[in-house]
C-alpha cells in the first residue's frame, strides 16, 4: 500500500467515529422499541433487538389512537405541502416572468417576513382562529402554512433562469398561460419542485409549536403533539409506548431520506444556495 493511502486512515477513523455518534441514537431507538418496557433501561443497554415491538405498539395505540394520529399527521403534511407548492409555484412564476406594478414592493414585503421569528404570529393566530371558530381543526393548522415566503423566493430564483424563449414558443403555438405553466414550466422544474416538496413536507410533518397551541382534543393531535403530550404526562411513564411513537415519527422520514437522498439534501440545503 502506498503511503498516501495510509495517511488517510486516521481521518477515516475519525469520521467513522463521528458518524457513529450521529447514528448511535437511532440504533438505540430501534433496539429499544423492540424491547419489553422493563428491559429498555437495563444496565448495560441492550445491543440486540428483542420481542416486545408488537406489545409496545399496541399500548401506544391504546394511549393515543395510533391510526387516527398518524392519519392527522399525514393529512396535514400532505395538504399543506401540496398547497404551499402550488401557491409558491404560481407566485414565483408571476415574480419571475411578468412585469407588473408593485412587483418589487410585494416581493420585498414577502421576503421581509423571513426575519420575523415564528413566535410573533402565535398569539394573533390563536386569537384569529378563536374568532373564526377554527381552533382544534385541520384548517387551523393547514391554512397558516400555505404561504411559505422562502418557497416563493426559491421558485422565483429557479424560474428566473428558465429561458423566456421556451415559454414564448408555447405561447406562439396558442397555448394559454395556465397550459404553458402546466405543460412547459412544471416538467422543467420537476427537480426543484421535488426538492421543495420534501423541504415542505418535512417541515410540516415535524411542526410542533403551533399545532400544540391550536389543537386541543387528542383526536386532532398530530404525531409530534401526541408524542409530547404522552411524554409530558408524567403519571404514565410507559417508555415502550413513548419510544415506539418516537420511532414511528422518525422512521418514515428516514426511509424516505435513504431512498431520495439527493432530493432530500438539495431540498434541505435549498436555503444555502446563493440567491
Partner 1 sequence: MTATTAVTAPAVSGAAGPARPAGPAARAHRRARLRRTALPYLLLAPALITFGVFKAYPIVDSLLLSFTTGSGPAARPAGLANYRRLLDDPLFWTALRNTGEILVVQVPLMLGLALLLAVGINSTLVRWRAVWRLGVFMPAVTGLVATGVMFAFLLKRDDGAVNWLLHAVGLPSVDWLGQPFWARMSVVLVLTWHYTGYNAVIYLAGLQSVPKELYEAAMVDGAGAVRRFTAITVPALRPVLLFTVVLSTIGTLQLFDEPYVLTGGGPDNASLTVSMYLYQNGFRYFDFGYASAIAYALTLLVAVLGAVQMRLMGEKDG
Select from 54-62, 74-82, 189-197, 253-261 the region that touches partner 1 (CB under 8 A). 253-261
Q: Which of 1, 16, 48, 259 binds partner 1 (CB under 8 A)?
A: 16
Q: Which is nearer to partner 1, 219 or 254 (CB)?
A: 254
Select from 52-60, 61-69, 184-192, 252-260 the region that touches partner 1 (CB under 8 A). 252-260
Number of residues that bind partner 1 (CB under 8 A): 102
Q: Which of 49, 54, 127, 191 binds partner 1 (CB under 8 A)?
A: 127
Of residues 103-122, those binding partner 1 (CB under 8 A):
103, 106, 109-110, 113, 115-122
Nearest distance from C-beta of residue 47 to partner 1, angstroms: 10
3-state SS, the chain, equals CCHHHHHHHHHHHHHHHHHHHHHHHHHHHHHHHCCCCCCCCCCCCCCCCCCCHHHHHHHHHHHHCHHHHHHHHHHHHHHHHHHHHHHHHHHHHHHHHCCCCCHHHHHHHHHHHHHCCHHHHHHHHHHHHHHHCCCCCHHHHHHHHCCCHHHHHHHHHHHHCCCHHHHHHHHHCCCCHHHHHHHHHHHHCHHHHHHHHHHHHHHHHHCCHHHHHHCCCHHHCCHHHHHHHHHHCCCCCCHHHHHHHHHHHHHHHHHHHHHCHHHHHHHHCHHHCCC
Angle between helices 261-268 and 239-259 (to 10 degrees): 100
Select from 17-25, 53-61, 64-72, 183-191 the region that touches partner 1 (CB under 8 A). 17-25
Of residues 20-59, those binding partner 1 (CB under 8 A):
20-23, 25-26, 28-29, 32, 40-45
Of residues 66-95, those binding partner 1 (CB under 8 A):
86-88, 90-91, 93-95
Of residues 136-195, those binding partner 1 (CB under 8 A):
143-144, 146-147, 149, 152, 168, 171-172, 174-179
Does 253 engage in binding with partner 1 (CB under 8 A)? yes
Nearest distance from C-beta of residue 36 to partner 1, angstroms: 15
Q: Which is nearer to partner 1, 175 or 188 (CB)?
A: 175
Amino acid at each position: 500500500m502506498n503511503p498516501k493511502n495510509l495517511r488517510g486512515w486516521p481521518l477515516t477513523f475519525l469520521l467513522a467515529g463521528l458518524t457513529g455518534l450521529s447514528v448511535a441514537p437511532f440504533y438505540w431507538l430501534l433496539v429499544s422499541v423492540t424491547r419489553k418496557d422493563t428491559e429498555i433501561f437495563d444496565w448495560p443497554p441492550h445491543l440486540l433487538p428483542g420481542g416486545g415491538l408488537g406489545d409496545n405498539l399496541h399500548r401506544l395505540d391504546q394511549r393515543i389512537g395510533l391510526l387516527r394520529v398518524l392519519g392527522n399527521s399525514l393529512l396535514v403534511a400532505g395538504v399543506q405541502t401540496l398547497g404551499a407548492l402550488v401557491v409558491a409555484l404560481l407566485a414565483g412564476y408571476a415574480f419571475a416572468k411578468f412585469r407588473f406594478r408593485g412587483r418589487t414592493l410585494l416581493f420585498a414585503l414577502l421576503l421581509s417576513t423571513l426575519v420575523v421569528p415564528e413566535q410573533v404570529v402565535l398569539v394573533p393566530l390563536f386569537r384569529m382562529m378563536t374568532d373564526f371558530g377554527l381552533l382544534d381543526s385541520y384548517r387551523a393548522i393547514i391554512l397558516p402554512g400555505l404561504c411559505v415566503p422562502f418557497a416563493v423566493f426559491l421558485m422565483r430564483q429557479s424560474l428566473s433562469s428558465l429561458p423566456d424563449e421556451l415559454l414564448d414558443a408555447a405561447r406562439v403555438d396558442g397555448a394559454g398561460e395556465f397550459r404553458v405553466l402546466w405543460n412547459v414550466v412544471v416538467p422543467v422544474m420537476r427537480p426543484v419542485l421535488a426538492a421543495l416538496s420534501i423541504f415542505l413536507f418535512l417541515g410540516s410533518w415535524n411542526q410542533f409549536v403551533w399545532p400544540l397551541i391550536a389543537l386541543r382534543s387528542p383526536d386532532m393531535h398530530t404525531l409530534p403533539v401526541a408524542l409530547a403530550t404522552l411524554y409530558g404526562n408524567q403519571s404514565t411513564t410507559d417508555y415502550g409506548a413513548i419510544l415506539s411513537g418516537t420511532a414511528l415519527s422518525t422512521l418514515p422520514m428516514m426511509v424516505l431520506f435513504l431512498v431520495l437522498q439527493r432530493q432530500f439534501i438539495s431540498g434541505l440545503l435549498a436555503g444555502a444556495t446563493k440567491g
